[in-house]
Structure 1
Amino acid sequence: MHRELQSGIHDGRIDWVDYAKGFCIVFVVMMHSTLGVEAAAGKEGWLHHLVEFARPFRMPDFFMISGLFLANVINRDWRTYIDRKVVHFFYFYLLWTAIQFAFKAPGFIAEQGIMGVAHAYLMSFIEPFGTLWFIYLLPIFFIFVKLTKRVPWPVIWLMGAALEISQVQTGWMVPDEFASRFVYFYTGYIAARYIFAIAARAQATPALAMAGLVIWGIGNGVLVKAGVAALPFYSLALGLVGAVAVVTISALLAQHDVFKPLRYCGRNSIVIYLAFFLPMAASRAVLLKTGIITDIGTISVLVTATGVIGALAIYWAVRWTPLKVLFERPAVFWLVPEGKKKAEPRLAMQPAE
């Protein structure tokens, strides 16, 4: 599959895909870090402009990449499919929701009392909690696509596009985010061949790819500055074009493997996504309270870096200990263990990603 990119494969993973995921997860952490710092400080910093620039394509690309390899597994039997694409993500959602609640419970108790905390926790089963909404929504996408795989793809894609353009606002995150994001996930699924071809073309003609990126960057920046990037039709167009731009950037980076740490972040994007909230919140509190650094943009950069590196540090610290269950699903929670691991269901682990 995708022979034109075989030279960009390490350990069975395609480098540019990991670069794209690394690119997106860093921007996700940057967004949460920057907005959190600005909210606490009561003013904006210079990094806010980069966060706004990335808003049109940050999550669209993440969802598009998530759907990229779905065609390889969609025909699996339902039990295996649900195990890999539903149970897998819900394991991490339930585990890390509990962890986040443990850290935030004192504040919740002070504001709402014990019953308020219990209500908020129960609500997290139907209303995704905090930063974890992405891995709550992915299983819903996976199930929906498998259920509708016999429906002609233009029908489903146009439905997804119409939902995105309609900008559904029910006040409930699940239908709202489904409407906003599904079209990108589905595009990754149905257009995987063309997305890989775009990456290959970028690597074959880097000068042309760079020229295209300059044009895209100017156009995206102008529309964001003009305040129209979030409007109907504009948001869909910028999301799709921006996702292609990230693929192009990632393909160029992978060709020379210039930024290997970014590729590593992509290989461990779920690890970062699950754990960044803790080092992010801790570093934000320290930097703002000590006042050693006063520039809000600089603080936002440091908090972003701490969120990413801190999450990886937690992973490095536990991966050879029993606490590796924080990032690896024990086979005891598998519905369909793989291969010879069936004989050792309690010892075998399935990585978070």
Structure 2
Amino acid sequence: MAGQGNGNTSGGHRSRHDWVDFAKGFCIVAVVTMWVVGEMQGYVNRGEAGWLGYFAVFAKPFRMPDFFLISGLFLSRVIDRPWRHYLDTKVVHYLYFFVLWTLIVVPATWLLGHDTPASATEALTDLAWRLYDPFQMLWFVMMLSVYFVATRLLRRVPVWLLMPAALLLMLFPLQTGIYHVDRFGVYFGYFYAGHVFADRFFALADWARAHRRRAVAIVLVWALINGTLVKLQLTESILATTVLGFAGISAVVVISALVSEQRWAGLLKYLGRTSITVYLGFYLPMIVLVPLLRGSAIGQQHSLVGTLALVGCIGGAVLMAEIARRLGLGFLYERPSWARLAPARSAPASAAAAVPPVADEDERRQPA
């Protein structure tokens, strides 16, 4: 397929792909920031969420587009594998965690006093509905499985035809009332672009490393333009959102390539490698921490409250995963054998250690 990339770069050294981990780490922080700000009851709209609110608004055009694009970067390596293996690693894998964590998070929010159903019938109805209309952040996990199937089915369609069609779906969203259909076009263009233009994004990362001064200058110009347009509220149109989405993705690639080799970048790379674990686990700590902090003596110090909540819910998600594994509850983060369509392929010990269990199982086997 013309223009389709496989994510390989010459040399095959781990450092050449470190920017992917950094980019995912940066985006998971941006996504959690958005949810923390939202839990602070829309303070960002009144300028009362401190630096966290400004960052959430600044990152809005690209935080989820970047996540979806990165999810498609390595797809060309496995897209032609047998259907049984493909469905196991690209569909069942994500649906397992989507269903499991729906059954965990939704009842947990009821126990914490959020929209508690009045009866067992209402509770079962709500849970069933959430398997169709995902609860809060879980829509991302569910839509990944949809995008993987769609891309496999459409892999013979020429890029020059499918990419414009995907962009049109973004610019003219469907409104059928069917959740999966209406949601499909919102981010599919980014996911598909990550798949078919993977080589271009890896080449952009290589260019940034080779031309650091020009890359820094371009990032500064982008930050100024993005920040100005956000400040002037000129990013709400779908066309502007799409353009700024791809511009922001490119900027994140450049920034990640420039700084991913620095020692201080290790934390964000770690969060990138554990991004889905963080994504699944941050919500419950967040809905506990934010009210506690807002009701404390520092409740009016919005930047401090937001910062502590952000650190606390990300740290809480990582801690929950570690405790679960130590208690023999690894099935919360690693798919058991009974939930597989095909036997798991063995991965090198180094690769298995580098990638979290709930990450894409094919991603664990990417050459370092």
The TM-score with structure 1 as length reference comes to: 0.91
Deviation at 1:199, TM superposition (A): 0.5
Deviation at 1:291, TM superposition (A): 3.3
CA distance in 2, matches of 1:54, 1:292: 26
Paired residue for 1:206? 212
Structure 1 unaligned segments of length 5 or more: list them.
342-349
Alignment partner of 1:129 is 2:132? no
Label 1:293 to 1:232 Cα distance change in 2 as closer, same or farther (>3 A).
closer
Pairs within 5 Å for 1:152-167: 152-167=158-173
Which 10-residue stretch deviates more, 255-264 or 212-221? 255-264
CA distance in 1, matches of 2:44, 2:234: 27
CA distance in 1, matches of 2:206, 2:217: 16
Does the 8 A contact of 2:65 with 2:245 survive in 1? Answer: yes
Paired residue for 1:224? 230
Which 10-residue stretch deviates more, 318-327 or 191-200? 318-327
Paired residue for 1:14? 17
Does the 8 A contact of 2:110 with 2:117 survive in 1? Answer: no
CA distance in 2, matches of 1:58, 1:351: 23
The amino acid across from 1:55 in the alignment is K
Paired residue for 2:63? 58
Paired residue for 1:287? 293
What per-residue deviation string (whole Å, max 9, x for no partner) do you get for residues 210-245 of structure 1?
101001001111111221212132111100110011
Label 1:223 to 1:339 Cα distance change in 2 as closer, same or farther (>3 A).
closer
CA distance in 2, matches of 1:218, 1:75: 42
The TM-score with structure 2 as length reference comes to: 0.87
Which 10-residue stretch deviates more, 229-238 or 73-82? 229-238
Does the 8 A contact of 1:41 with 1:288 survive in 2? Answer: no
Deviation at 1:111, TM superposition (A): 5.2
SS of residue matched to 2:335: strand
Q: After TM superposition, which residue ranges in structure 1, 4 or more long, deviate above 6 angstroms? A: none
Deviation at 1:302, TM superposition (A): 1.2
CA distance in 2, matches of 1:340, 1:228: 49
Alignment partner of 1:267 is 2:273? yes
Paired residue for 1:81? 86
Structure 2 unaligned segments of length 5 or more: list them.
1-6, 348-355, 360-368
Does the 8 A contact of 2:174 with 2:182 survive in 1? Answer: yes
CA distance in 2, matches of 1:196, 1:273: 25
Deviation at 1:315, TM superposition (A): 1.4
Match of 2:186 among 173, 180, 185: 180
Does the 8 A contact of 1:8 with 1:254 survive in 2? Answer: no
CA distance in 1, matches of 2:115, 2:37: 27
What per-residue deviation string (whole Å, max 9, x for no partner) do you get for residues 293-341 of structure 1?
4212321121111111110111122223311111111122111113479
What per-residue deviation string (whole Å, max 9, x for no partner) do you get for residues 197-216 of structure 1?
00011111111111010010
The amino acid across from 1:327 in the alignment is Y
Aligned length: 342
Pairs within 5 Å for 1:231-246: 231-246=237-252
Deviation at 1:63, TM superposition (A): 0.3
Match of 2:282 among 276, 281, 297: 276
Which 10-residue stretch deviates more, 300-309 or 21-30? 300-309
Label 1:53 to 1:278 Cα distance change in 2 as closer, same or farther (>3 A).
same
Match of 2:322 among 316, 319, 324: 316
What per-residue deviation string (whole Å, max 9, x for no partner) do you get for residues 257-282 of structure 1?
43201100000001000000111111
CA distance in 1, matches of 2:226, 2:141: 27
The amino acid across from 1:195 in the alignment is F
Paired residue for 1:45? 49
Does the 8 A contact of 1:56 with 1:235 survive in 2? Answer: yes
Does the 8 A contact of 2:298 with 2:305 survive in 1? Answer: no
Does the 8 A contact of 2:170 with 2:187 survive in 1? Answer: yes
Does the 8 A contact of 1:20 with 1:250 survive in 2? Answer: yes
CA distance in 2, matches of 1:6, 1:66: 20
The amino acid across from 1:272 in the alignment is V
Alignment partner of 1:23 is 2:29? no
**Which structure has greater helix proportion?**
1
Match of 1:116 among 122, 140, 145: 122
The amino acid across from 1:68 in the alignment is L
CA distance in 1, matches of 2:179, 2:247: 25
Label 1:214 to 1:41 Cα distance change in 2 as closer, same or farther (>3 A).
closer
Does the 8 A contact of 1:64 with 1:187 survive in 2? Answer: yes
The amino acid across from 1:334 in the alignment is R
Deviation at 1:256, TM superposition (A): 2.5
Label 1:41 to 1:240 Cα distance change in 2 as closer, same or farther (>3 A).
closer
SS of residue matched to 2:261: helix
Does the 8 A contact of 1:203 with 1:255 survive in 2? Answer: no
